[in-house]
Structure 1
Amino acid sequence: MDFKDILHLVRDDFAAVDACISSSLQSRVPLVSEVGTYIVQSGGKRLRPLVTLLAARACGYGEGRDHVTMAAIIEMLHTATLLHDDVVDESSLRRGRATVNSRWGNPTAVLVGDYLVARSFQLIAGLRNQAVFDIMSDGTCVIAEGEVLQLINQHDPDTTEARYLEVIHGKTAKMFEAAAECAAALSDPRWRTQMAAYARHLGAAFQIIDDVLDYTSSADVMGKNVGDDLAEGKPTLPLIQAMKVAAPAEADMVRESIRTGGLEHLQEIIALVRRCGALDYSHERARQESEAAIAALAPLPATPWRQALEELARLALRRDH
């Protein structure tokens, strides 16, 4: 089962999610609608809403459209975090296109991000499901804390692997977790724990591989600039491991680059993380997370949707963007 096969399982639901997002981004303020349309057209893998739809079906979701609304909510909230991230990171490129902040300016990016959060919670209230409200209100707090933790770790070469994992749990894995747990809450609450665990580990695997790709891929493939993480002074797992095993002089070079956010030694650092085993180590950590995600699904009934969730966890390890 490849990614196209997975999408095919929920193709009608997925199309409905796009329609829901588009209608939800219409505003009496033209600039909000203009930026919203630009965001929707920028595409992206839409993994989080995909997880929502698959998890709902795997948990036995029947008639209704609440799972579609939930998937749209997840994507809108995720997009809001991206808008804010790009302002904080001063990013100019995402998904191969100019970021909102680079095209319209920081104030527009921040305020449209705020609108997306507000609109998302308006839609959450409309679901009339207390469990979903609790999951999303708690989850968005954790996500915001994760972003602040990342800011604290920025330019700190003494960041440990444990601190790194805490950051990616907040900034990435928590949104996946909320997506799947809310799907279970709307379908069969008995599976909330299993779905939350699955998506938490999936999100961790996804982010670790994302950090690996910053040193193995290209701007054309990734849709962002190679070396962005280093330029932003982010001590990601490949760098943390490289500093552990590299010769002292090389480790000092990495430390100084993290501290200053300088790209003067980018090519040397890319060569180092490839040569010293840091990428293999990071891949192994991601593999462990992927296997934990798959194991969490074991109690669920065997269905094509559960199989698709398992395949997503495997595909997370093999992606190139």
Structure 2
Amino acid sequence: MEMIHSMWNEYPFLKQELSAIRQLMLDSVEMEDEDIHQAIVTMLQQGGKMIRPAYLTLFANWTNNGNQQQVRAVAAALELLHVATLLHDDVIDEADMRRGEETLNTRYGNRVAIYAGDFVLTSCYQLLSTHLSDLEGITLPTNGMARVVEGELAQMRNRYRYDLGLQEYLKRIEGKTAQLFMVSCYMGAKLGQMDDALRAKKIGQQIGMAFQILDDILDYQVTPQEFGKPVLEDVVQGIYTAPLIYTLEKESHKMIPLLEKKQVISEQERVLLRKLVHDSGGLQKAQQLAQQYTKQALSQIDRLPESDMKATLTQLTKQLLERTM
């Protein structure tokens, strides 16, 4: 199986580094239980794009002052942190599929999946404590993880709350998704001894926001086969995202009766809801919101000092945030 996504073929340096990072991740999750170990390995190999490690790597190599072994270890640790959150998310969401494959909780049960996520999380902090000597390097991912958990808790607390607007949604995804982008970019800049690490952190926040909004848009555009997981599952779970929130502003009288069905909303009603989102312009407004964050990120990238990495950072960000799929 090809370990690195094909999108990296046009970025040879990143492909090489991400291959090394992925191998380090695999080496870090060795365990005695062969079945669970293989399930974790399969998840690590089954198509994640490793976007956060790529951004960390770019910033860490901005000045050529970074320790490459240390950079790879921190990138691997932060991606393991991301994987641990996915394993736990799948349990909470009762998800059957992830990236087109059966989830670990479906295959082995919730208890095993939770312990597997805990094990991956432990592997993350083992890597950080082994390769970082400064306290900030340990506390940043810890604080980032706390914000991720806060975002997840807010999402659970506000399930089926169609009265909450766009600002609550943005606050939620800033914690749930943008935090790990922020930490990755900031840690990369610090490891590479960049003077403008705070700008890198801001770029990470903007990229993370745009990334999640685009991911939420895809839920209304593609089939489950294309997306690798069930579409409109967030609606069933009571998690309302930008396209739906914008549609509610115009079509609340049509949307609310559908949303009040909660988990018993039928397939036919899902199709109707999806059509309302398309016809109301909700997708276009969400796309414009993502574009705002994308433009902000690209503007901040332009202000960074010159580096061999700058053109790659700009190209990757445009490719990632101007995607249709």
**TM-score band w.r.t. shorter chain:** over 0.9
Query: Structure 1 counterpart of 2:153, which letter?
Result: V
Q: Does 1:232 align with 2:237?
A: yes
Listed as ranges, the matches of 1:207-218 within 5 Å are 207-218=212-223
Contact 1:131/1:182 (<8 A) preserved: no
% of aligned pairs identical?
29
* 2:256 corresponds to 1:262: no
TM norm structure 2: 0.92
Q: Give the whole-Å Cα distance in 2 for the aligned partners of 1:77 and 1:110.
A: 14
Asked if structure 2 preserves the Cα contact closer than 8 Å seen for 1:25 and 1:32, the reply is no
Cα deviation, residue 148, structure 1:
0.5
**d(CA) in 2 for partners of 1:317 and 1:12?**
23
Please say if 1:107 is aligned against 2:111: yes
Query: RCO greater where, 1 or 2, for CA within 8 Å and sep 6 or more?
Result: 1
Once the 2 structures are TM-superposed, how far is the Cα of residue 320 of structure 1 from its aligned partner?
4.0
Cα distance, 1:253 vs structure 2? 3.2
Shift of 1:261: 6.0
5+ residue gaps in structure 2?
Answer: 1-5
Residue 58 of structure 1: CA displacement?
2.5
Cα offsets for 1:26-70 (capped at 9, x unmatched): 123434422221212222111111111112122534443111111
Q: Distance in 2 between matches of 1:243 and 1:204?
A: 21
Query: How far did residue 185 of structure 1 move?
Result: 1.4
2:23 is matched by which residue type in structure 1? A
Q: Distance in 2 between matches of 1:254 and 1:302?
A: 52
Contact 2:154 2:172 in 1 (8 A): yes
Change in Cα spacing, 1:238 to 1:307, as seen in structure 2 (3 Å) is: same
Q: What's the counterpart of residue 90 of structure 2?
A: 86
Q: CA RMSD in A?
A: 1.8
Within the candidate set 25, 47, 51, 1:21 is matched to 25
What SS does the corresponding residue of 2:302 show, helix, strand or coil?
Answer: coil
How far apart are 1:284 and its partner, in Å?
Answer: 0.4
Distance 1:312 1:32 in 2: 34
Deviation at 1:317, TM superposition (A): 3.1
Code of the residue aligned with 1:175 in structure 2: it is L
1:96 and 2:100 are equivalent in the alignment? yes
Cα deviation code 1:245-277 (max 9, x no counterpart) = 12x4313234424x4462441111111111111
Q: Is 1:125 the counterpart of 2:143 in the alignment?
A: no
- Does the CA-based 8 Å contact 1:230-1:261 persist in structure 2? no
Alignment partner of 1:294 is 2:298: yes
Query: In the alignment, which residue of structure 1 is the partner of 2:202?
Result: 197
Question: Displacement, 1:105?
Answer: 0.9
Task: Identify the residue that residue 39 of structure 1 maps to in structure 2.
Answer: 43
The 3-state SS of whatever aligns with 1:10 is helix
CA distance in 2 between counterparts of 1:214 and 1:131 reads: 37
CA distance in 2, matches of 1:59, 1:166: 33
Structure 1 residues 261 and 119: alpha-carbon distance in aligned structure 2, compared to 1, 3 A threshold: farther
Letter in 2 for 1:158: D
CA distance in 2, matches of 1:263, 1:211: 20
Matching of residue 136 in structure 1 with residue 141 in structure 2: yes
Q: Which moved more, 1:41-50 or 1:14-23?
A: 41-50
Question: Separation in 2 of the partners of 1:212 and 1:243?
Answer: 15
Report how far residue 9 of structure 1 moved: 2.8
Give the superposition deviation at 1:295. Answer: 1.8
Query: How many residue pairs were aligned?
Result: 318
Structure 1 length-normalised TM: 0.93
**1:167/1:174 Cα in 2 relative to 1: closer, same or farther (>3 Å)?**
same
C-alpha displacement of 1:75: 1.1
Structure 2 counterparts to residues 69-84 of structure 1, below 5 A: 69-84=73-88
Aligned amino acid, residue 160 of structure 1 = G
Q: For residues 228 and 260 of structure 2, what CA distance do their matches in structure 1 show? A: 27
The offset of 1:6, in angstroms, is 5.3
Q: Is the 8 A contact 1:239 1:273 kept in 2?
A: yes
- Residue 189 of structure 1 and its aligned partner are, at CA, apart by 4.7
Query: How far does residue 128 in structure 1 lie from its aligned partner after superposition?
Result: 1.4
CA distance in 2, matches of 1:237, 1:9: 35
* Conserved? CA contact 1:209–1:316, under 8 Å: no
Q: Which residue of 1 aligns with 2:3?
A: none
What does residue range 57-68 of structure 1 map to in structure 2 within 5 Å? 57-68=61-72
Q: 1:279: which partner in 2? A: 283
Partner of 1:284, secondary structure, is: helix
Residues 52-61 or 131-140, more deviating: 52-61
Q: 1:274 to 1:304 in 2, by over 3 A?
A: farther
Any gaps of 5 or more consecutive residues in structure 1?
A: none
Q: Which moved more, 1:124-133 or 1:209-218?
A: 124-133
| Cα separation, partners in 2 of 1:82 and 1:261, compared to 1, 3 Å | farther
